[in-house]
Amino acid sequence: MSPKLGTLEELPQDYRDALDAAGVAPLWPMMRNVLPHNAPKPVTRPGYWNFEKLRPLLLKAGELTPVEKAERRVLVLSDPGRGTGAMQATSSIYIGMQLLLPGETAPAHKHTPSAVRIIVEGKGGFTVVDGEKLPMEEGDLVLTPGGEWHDHGHDGDEPVIWLDALDLPLFVYLEGSYAIESELQAQRNRPDASQVEYRASGLAPARRPGTHVRRYPMMRYPWSRTEEALREMARYGDGEVAELDYVNPETGEDVLPTMGFTAMMLAKDQKASPPRRSTSAVFHIIRGSGTTTVDGETIAWKAKDTFSAPVFAAIDHHAVEESFMVQIHDRPLQERLRYYEERPR
């Protein structure tokens, strides 16, 4: 074990003044801030956002601010460790709740960060990604990867609300975050790929010489099929928690390079205590109720609520009733950086 490192105050004032004038600083007084021993010391704190409290605030935003003046009418879920207004739910994940009212459109744009939508409430909403119209049904997961044109519209007669998950903090940190706007896209006159080319697991369009496969071939993952698959897993799972990763149907890789999504089902009164993981995570409840203890802090959740956990958190789930949730995490990014880690409890 290294000895206790020297402090800045131990250095003579004239030497510290000379360091300031030269635009440099000694590493050793700051080293443990950036390289703590054995495990990180996250700024992120467990967060909890109750949908019953958020919903009226979103609807009020719809009254106060027309979508034309908002571009995207969103309430940001801020990490308690960083304070209200922080554009982060964890160090690497941005989460927002977005509202679209009947007849509204959100203009077309593309941006460097990638986004995923998890539909929370309402019918009639849709997203258009590079001309492909994607219906938005409750629980569906809809991709808008970085660099892909997308806009939103609403053909229904009730408010539509969805959760936005973006890798925005990474691009802000890299000073590479920006967007480009355009006119609404022309929509192709056909169903989206989830209803045609990738309707069944294990099946993909026939390969022919010269066939081009899109980098993101499937943009919508319908919840109805996800739930059906989770139920089958639970049926034959010997009591284990049923979990399914959302993947690219052509490659089997995670749907995005920096963010992963895992659907989970817990039976009534089922408990789960996963290992400590180096990833941060956000959990969105599709249906059900229960409690989760994150680093000793117990969160009572129900359908449509959202909560978060920092890196290496001790997480214990307990479902009061049959429950479904989607976990948003940064494992794909960590695996690309080759430092993803799990530690036993």
pLDDT > 90? residue 214: no
Structure pTM? 0.95
pLDDT > 80? residue 3: no
Give the bridge partners for 14, in sequence order. none
Residue 142: closest CA among 153, 134, 150:
134
DSSP state of 254: B
d(CA 14, CA 165): 49
Band of pLDDT at residue 211, cut at 50, 70 and 90:
confident
Q: Which domain holds residue 256?
A: 48-199+221-343
112-125 per-position pLDDT tens digit: 999 999 999 999 99
Tally of structural domains, the chain: 1
DSSP state of 193: G
Residue 278 CA to its chain's centroid (Å): 16
243-277 per-position pLDDT tens digit: 999 999 999 999 999 999 999 999 999 999 999 99
Is 31 a member of any domain?
no
* Mean pLDDT, residues 80-106: 96
pLDDT > 70? residue 1: no
Is 212 a member of any domain?
no
* Mean pLDDT, residues 147-154: 94
Is 146 a member of any domain?
yes
CATH assignment of the domain containing 255: 2.60.120.10
Q: What would you measure as the largest C-alpha separation in the chain, in angstroms?
A: 74
- Contacts for 110 with CB less than 8 Å, ≥ 6 apart: 146, 147, 148, 149, 150, 179, 180, 182
69-84 per-position pLDDT tens digit: 988 999 999 999 999 9
Is 236 a member of any domain?
yes
Band of pLDDT at residue 188, cut at 50, 70 and 90:
confident
Q: Are 194 and 221 in contact (CB under 8 A)?
A: yes
User: Around 233, how many Cα atoms within 13 Å sit in the side-chain half-sphere?
Assistant: 17
pLDDT at 162: 98
d(CA 228, CA 248): 19
Q: How many Å from the N-terminal Cα to the C-terminal Cα in the chain?
A: 24
Is 184 a member of any domain?
yes
d(CA 146, CA 111): 6
pLDDT at 213: 83
Is 89 a member of any domain?
yes
Give the bridge partners for 49, in sequence order. 306
DSSP state of 50: -
Number of other residues whose CB lies within 10 A of the CB of residue 241? 19
Is 81 a member of any domain?
yes
Is 248 a member of any domain?
yes
291-342 per-position pLDDT tens digit: 999 999 999 999 999 999 999 999 999 999 999 999 999 999 999 999 999 9
Question: Taking CA 223 as the corner, what is the angle to CA 218 and CA 228, rounded to the nearest 5 degrees?
Answer: 110
Question: Taking CA 141 as the corner, what is the angle to CA 343 and CA 319, rounded to the nearest 5 degrees?
Answer: 50
